Amino acid sequence: MRMWDIDPKLLCRKHLLGEHVEMHMFVGTINKNKSVSGYLEKGLVEIHNIKNRHELLSAEMVKRGYNHKSPLPEFKAWEAGKVDIQANLIDLAGRCEECRGRIENHG
């Protein structure tokens, strides 16, 4: 699981939908009182940003004509984690040709 935290319009379909479901997975993990410390230590999530990130991803999904019918469950957020957006742009561009094209065409 990870929060890319880059502009959602730069994500291909697979990564947009993947990050969306992973926001739900993080909330599920938190609500089950399971540790997310490993994700925090590796810079893969910002707990305090999950709700906002879900809203941004959902808005992009709707903009692309996808159905979004999964509101984020309530959860107790706290200030924790820091995602490196610049490093994620580089990582994602190296993993996905479609995302790389979106990133390159955006700049």
Residue 49 covered by a domain: yes
pLDDT reported for residue 107: 60
Residue 29 covered by a domain: yes
Residue 80 covered by a domain: yes
Residue 17 covered by a domain: yes
CA distances from 3 to 20, 58, 76 (A): 9, 14, 18
Residue 3 covered by a domain: no
The maximal CA–CA distance of the chain, rounded, in angstroms, is 41
pLDDT reported for residue 106: 85
Domain, as residue range, for 66: 8-106
Count of structural domains within the chain: 1
Residue ranges in the chain modelled with pLDDT below 50: none
Residue 2 covered by a domain: no
pLDDT in tens, 51-69: 999 999 999 999 999 999 9
